[in-house]
Amino acid sequence: MAKINCWDILQCGRSHDCPAAKGGENEGMNNGTNRGRFCKAVPGTLCHDEVQGVYKDKIKKCITICEVYKRIKEEEGSDFAMH
C-alpha cells in the first residue's frame, strides 16, 4: 500500500504538476506513488517555493534540512532506498 508522498507531507498543492508526481525512473521507491517518496532523486522538484536541481546538487540539503527526507527515512527504516 502506498504511503504519504512528499506533496502531501509538505501540503504544497503540487501533486498535479510536480516532477515527483509523474511516473519515471525509480517509480514506487520507498512505497510511494510515482516518485513521491523518492523526490530527492527527481530533478526540478519544488521545495519551499525554490526549484531544486539534480540529485548531486540537492542531496546534501535533503539529508540535512528536509523534513520529507527525514520522515520517509524514519518510516522506511532499514528498507529506505537511498539511490
Q: What is the pLDDT of residue 2?
A: 66
Give the count of alpha carbons within 13 A of 51, CB side only: 6
pLDDT single digits (tens) 13-52: 888 889 999 999 999 999 999 999 999 999 999 887 889 9
With 0-12 / 13-18 / 19 or more C-beta atoms within 10 angstroms meaning exposed / middle / buried, residue 64 is exposed
Identify the CA nearest to 55 among candidates 41, 68, 66: 41
pTM: 0.89
Domain regions of the chain by residue span: 6-79
DSSP-based three-state secondary structure for 26: coil
How far, in Å, CA of 21 to CA of 80, rounded?
Answer: 19
